[in-house]
Structure 1
Amino acid sequence: MTNHQGVGRRAAVVIWVTAALMGPGGVAGASAGPSPRPGGVVYVANLRSDTVSVVDGGTGAVVGSIPVGDGPDSVAVSPDGAGVYVTNSAADTVSVIDARTRTVVATVPVGDEPSRVTVSPDGRNVYVANVGSDDVSVISTRTRAVTDTVKVGDAPLGVAVAADGCTLYVANAGSGTVSLVRTGTGTVTGTIRVGSGPTALVPAPDGRRLYVSNLTSDDVSVVDLRAGVESDRIPVGDQPAGIGVLPDGRQVYVADIGSDTVSVISTRRRAVTATVAVGHGPNGLAVAPDGSRVYVSDFDSDALSVIDAAGVRVTDTVAVGDGPTGVAVAPGRGPR
């Protein structure tokens, strides 16, 4: 990938991305092949090789490598598993991948330095946090074009949607806040102060709480969504980034970039109850839809760590592309 000149603001809040955006990388060829077995399909955005690795969630085998734009940083999958969306942070675009053919079928221009992406529960909209332009791009999955741009806080790094699709949560790393956006109107309805450098967030399955990883204060904020305030702060490892919650809501997993660990939080006790050693520079994290596995991208190891949620231990390490960042899991068998 080419050198990226606009990393100044991002470097202040995401130290681990700075080096990644300054180095060259190759482009791998696409691969089709058979559809993965039961266990879901795992997609990994490789920032330094400008590719997305396709991993069979059942076997742990890499079954494809898809060339995308410059500096792929985050990936999300539509609820039906048919569409995959990748933010290209150095190209200011989103690649739209057809999961069946494993090819890029559209490239959508968005804001400055798109950092994270998520898809609405009904599959109609894609939301992209643009860290350099302090806004969120809304993409229609039907037209594959931006339909709205919502101004939020300073340096938005994370996005998540409520289960009912009515509220978008945006982590503003530069502001130390979370913006609440009404998706129907694209208006900001509230701002909640959290820790320092919030970079990723995930709603609890019951919709009552929001968990936010704070990169520079080394903790996770627990937000009471009914009261609209931070209700607790849980210390974790060094530079927490990717975050996910199990479907039963009992545990939250957090990738600690600086500690080479994953912190496991008991939501009942609101404390870390286990720490799992993974590869170097863990940053992206995704939970399998059935809650059986947790997938963690190890940026400096060029690998994907697979954690068994029941045993709370690493059961597999999968070699992927260069500089893996974002991770997403498609439900079920994936498109055939």
Structure 2
Amino acid sequence: MGWAVLAGLAVPLAAASPAAAQEAPAHDDPVRAYVTNLDSDTVSVIDTRTNTVTHTIPVGDRPDGVAITPKGDRVYVANQLGDSVSVISTRTNTVTHTIPVGDAPNGVAITPKGDRVYVVNFNSDSVSVIDTKTNTVKTTVPVGNGPEDVAITPNGERAYVANDLDDSVSVIDTRTNTVTHTIAAPDGPVALAITPNGQHVYVANAASDNVSVISTRTNTVVTTIPTGGDLPNGVGITPNGRLAYVTNLNSGTVSVIDTRTNTVTHTIPVGTWPRNVAFTPDGERAYVANELSDNVSVIDTETNTVATTVPVGNGPFGVAITPKAAAPKKPHSATSS
């Protein structure tokens, strides 16, 4: 925004009052990555401008999945052995609420409106639905056996749940919070992500070394893609929807899938036991949590190479990145009407 002011496109520089100049922030808030550390019971906060850890936040026992509200004001962390969800304020980077959920919560997803959080409970075979206004569980949805992960369509109408132990994907109608479809998957579905246009779900099948692509129109598997890696464990899709990044746990690699051809185009070496992946809002970088390396690999998505590695806590697992900060509002000058 500074260039517009300097160019005189908003108000002439001389016309701005000292008070107005003080009101304008020097820059937008940084985009931050929140990484759960299973063995440290903490969340590391990475400033993506400098790729350094700025905060370490104590949470519950064995934090696993993590998601951030669309406004970027709160982070929801599933504590696997704590049977709870920690709510972090991104303004203070402290825990403000702890919410009891089911047994062994893992994956977390938040609706596009930010009004509900869906948390899968592995040992309860259920999904807890949290009302973000009250930070309480409003309902519990039975799903398949051993749910590991959840993703919500961009229109917020459906949640897809990967059930590891019965090789299926449950489809939840978020208006009624009931399961409307159960989709057979290859052996070991553990993670999933939905394309930005909402047309396809990419499911990582750990025991099958492949990725299933589900059509959200028909709720059927339309193709299956071998990753070329051993034990695919996490999946993320770039903001433009063109690429899917799949972590291969035992290979220490990330497979890059072109979503137009559904073929693997690159294989990127990362750390030991890569778990989950998330992207900066501009899609220029991917952040991969490496559980046994105690670090995060930062991938340049243009070159598909690791640009840097960021040390974090013990056993990094989940990763979520804040949305792009809103542009600061133009301050009113003294002569504004």
TM-score category, normalised to shorter length: 0.7 to 0.9
* Residue among 55, 58, 76 paired with 2:67: 76
Match of 1:221 in 2: 212
Cα deviation, residue 212, structure 1: 0.3
Q: Percent identity?
A: 48
Question: Which stretches in structure 1 are left out of the alignment for 5+ residues?
Answer: 1-34
Once the two structures are superposed, what CA deviation does each residue of 1:234-288 show, in whole Å capped at 9, x if it has no partner? 0111111111111222110001111000000011221111000001000011122
The structure with the larger Rg is 2
> What SS is found at the alignment partner of 1:44?
strand
> What SS is found at the alignment partner of 1:216?
helix
What is the identity, as a one-letter code, of the residue corresponding to 1:126? V
Shift in CA distance, 134/141, structure 1 to aligned 2, threshold 3 Å? same
Contact 1:38–1:58 at 8 Å: present in 2 too?
no
Cα distance in 2 for residues equivalent to 1:308 and 1:44: 18
What is the identity, as a one-letter code, of the residue corresponding to 1:226? R
Match of 2:294 in 1: 302
Contact 2:288–2:297 at 8 Å: present in 1 too?
yes
CA-based RMSD of the aligned residues comes to 1.7
Cα distance in 2 for residues equivalent to 1:166 and 1:292: 29
Shift in CA distance, 53/255, structure 1 to aligned 2, threshold 3 Å? same
Match of 2:84 in 1: 93
Match of 1:118 in 2: 109
Once the two structures are superposed, what CA deviation does each residue of 1:158-215 show, in whole Å capped at 9, x if it has no partner? 1000001110110001111111101111110101111211111111122111100001
Contact 2:44–2:53 at 8 Å: present in 1 too?
yes
Say whether 1:284 aligns with 2:279: no
What is the identity, as a one-letter code, of the residue corresponding to 1:219? N
Cα distance in 2 for residues equivalent to 1:305 and 1:170: 27
> What SS is found at the alignment partner of 1:80?
coil
After TM superposition, what 4+ stretches of structure 1 lie above 6 angstroms from structure 2?
Answer: none
Count of matched residue pairs: 302
Cα distance in 2 for residues equivalent to 1:286 and 1:210: 16
Match of 2:13 in 1: none
Cα deviation, residue 142, structure 1: 0.6
Match of 2:305 in 1: 313
Contact 1:42–1:330 at 8 Å: present in 2 too?
yes
Cα deviation, residue 118, structure 1: 1.0
> What SS is found at the alignment partner of 2:207?
coil
Cα distance in 2 for residues equivalent to 1:146 and 1:159: 16
> What SS is found at the alignment partner of 1:179?
strand
What is the identity, as a one-letter code, of the residue corresponding to 1:286? A
> What SS is found at the alignment partner of 2:208?
coil
Match of 2:49 in 1: 58
Q: Normalising by structure 1, what TM-score?
A: 0.87
Cα distance in 2 for residues equivalent to 1:227 and 1:160: 17
Cα distance in 1 for residues equivalent to 2:249 and 2:240: 26
* Residue among 183, 195, 210 paired with 2:174: 183
Match of 2:332 in 1: none
Match of 2:33 in 1: 42
Contact 1:100–1:335 at 8 Å: present in 2 too?
no
Cα deviation, residue 334, structure 1: 8.6
Match of 1:260 in 2: 252
Contact 1:40–1:334 at 8 Å: present in 2 too?
no
What is the identity, as a one-letter code, of the residue corresponding to 1:150? V
> What SS is found at the alignment partner of 2:96?
strand
Match of 1:325 in 2: 317
Q: Normalising by structure 2, what TM-score?
A: 0.87
Cα distance in 2 for residues equivalent to 1:129 and 1:230: 22
> What SS is found at the alignment partner of 2:292?
helix
Matched ranges for 1:198-213 at <5 A: 198-213=189-204
Match of 1:142 in 2: 133
Question: Which stretches in structure 2 are left out of the alignment for 5+ residues?
Answer: 1-25, 329-337
Say whether 1:269 aligns with 2:261: yes
Cα distance in 1 for residues equivalent to 2:93 and 2:255: 33
